[in-house]
Amino acid sequence: MTSTVPVNPAEKTRKMRNRAALIETIGGYMAAHALGLAAELKIADLIHDGVRTSADLAKATGTHEPSLRRMLRLLASVGITTEPEPGEFGLTEVGAQLRSDSPDSLYAFTRMFCHESHFSAWQGLAHSVRTGQSAWDHVFGKNIYAYLADLPELSELFNVAMSQESRISAGQIAAAYDFADVRNVVDIGGGDGTLLSAILGANSHLTGVVFDSPSGVAQASDVLTEAGLADRATVVAGDFFESVPTGGDLYIIKSVFQDWDDGPAKAILRTCRAYLPADATLLIVGSVLPETAASGEPIMFYTDLNMLVNSGGRERTESHFRGLLAETGFAVESVSLKSAGPLSMIEATPV
Ligand SMILES: C[S@@+](CC[C@H](N)C(=O)[O-])C[C@H]1O[C@@H](n2cnc3c(N)ncnc32)[C@H](O)[C@@H]1O
């Protein structure tokens, strides 16, 4: 004889919801693959601000219509596309960021982070978690920047991806920091010059230098010239493990330390300590992790683990940053958490 346990309907609903939540989390990698392919096929550019049938979209992209439709439905279920009528697809506001022509485009960012190289690197997650080292280096036999330096097209995509991610925060930093007493800003690891453009654009008294590796600065002259800033900005290629430009009074280093574990992060800080004039300020801009995962946006923890996988790097808490700065000869002058949108600013001076 089997005994029947009475089922509490609320309990049943909760269990079903929990099952769905776990399964949807597993499905994250499926959605990421679909998102990456939608970006590669430029589906958002084709839909633009209207609605297109899957038949139209399949014709324009040379894909198999019934299968493309299924992929677009998956993307509708995660809030990227809409399907107002069966087989007709539009974009949500989130999905519209995939358009390559919009001012707040995340097209290159999506292509880069859904690129096969990133998926391959993430297959080495177990290596990273077991050893604390970069899966990217393990999978490809070289670090991400050496890998990009060998592939100019992918390197350009990476630089544009970084600038798309930085475009909004560049304006926030330019607005949040007081540049009144600054004359010459050096942006270390400044990539294509997006941040320097925003700062010089908002402060006509400033001159500036964007400093990065040769492949990192490859697009910087064009970006600064297009912004009409060529006469106030200089582009310098180099290696921040060797030297940084002299002559600045404010040295910004944004979203760079996250790429590196503490050993190389301290090496970069020591280079800065050696080259910064005694009265210069170092301004670290980036995420500052909370002490527990209970507070803090999920994106911080995605980025933190992505840094481990891609470069053996990490996001850091305020106390972690303070420790690195103290060890490398800097005094922390101020910490303003989330003062540039989600990004924080730490001002330090040589001691
Ligand atoms: C995550 S990106 C951040 C770029 C930019 N600061 C931003 O916030 O968009 C890190 C930057 O560090 C640069 N970088 C990596 N290794 C470098 C090195 N050895 N010397 C100078 N720059 C380097 C990369 O080329 C890249 O532009």
Average pLDDT over residues 46-74: 98
Amino acid at 24: E
Contact at 8 Å (CB) between 286 and 343?
yes
Residue 2's pLDDT is what? 58
Distance CA 182, CA 203 (A): 10
- Average pLDDT over the chain, rounded to an integer: 96
Helix (H) or strand (E) run with residue 18 in it: helix 9-26
226-274: per-residue pLDDT in tens? 999 999 999 999 999 999 999 999 999 999 999 999 999 999 999 999 9
For domain 161-350, give the fold.
Answer: Rossmann fold (3.40.50)
Q: Which is nearest to 108 in space by CA: 269, 20, 219?
A: 219
Which residues surround ligand 1 with Cβ inside 6 Å? 145, 162, 166, 189-191, 212-213, 216, 239-241, 254-256, 259
Q: Which atom of ligand 1 is nearest to the CA of 256?
A: 10
Ligand 1 atom closest to the Cα of residue 241 is 19
Q: Which atom of ligand 1 is nearest to the CA of 192?
A: 27
Equal CATH topology for 9-109 and 161-350: no
Ligand 1 centroid – CA 159 distance (Å):
9
* 194 Cα nearest atom in ligand 1: 9
| Token pair listed for 264 | 């190389």
- CATH number of this structure's domain 9-109, picked from the four choices 1.10.10.10, 1.10.260.40, 3.50.50.60, 3.40.50.300: 1.10.10.10
* 300 C-alpha to ligand 1 centroid (Å): 19
Mutate which of 213, 271, 310, 344 for ligand 1? The one with the most ligand atoms within 8 Å of its CB, which is 213
The whole-number pLDDT of residue 291 equals 87
What is the number of the ligand 1 atom nearest to the C-alpha of 190?
Answer: 6
Spell out the domain ranges in the chain. Answer: 9-109, 161-350
CA of 161 to the centre of ligand 1 (A): 12
- The confidence score (pLDDT) of residue 334 equals 97
Residue to probe by mutation, ligand 1, list 159, 192, 256, most atoms within 8 Å of CB:
256
State pTM to two decimals.
Answer: 0.88
Element (H, E) at 347: strand 343-350
Percent of the chain with pLDDT over 70: 99
The pLDDT value given to residue 286? 96
In this predicted model, what pLDDT tens digit does every residue of 154-183 receive, in sequence order? 999 999 999 898 888 999 999 999 999 999
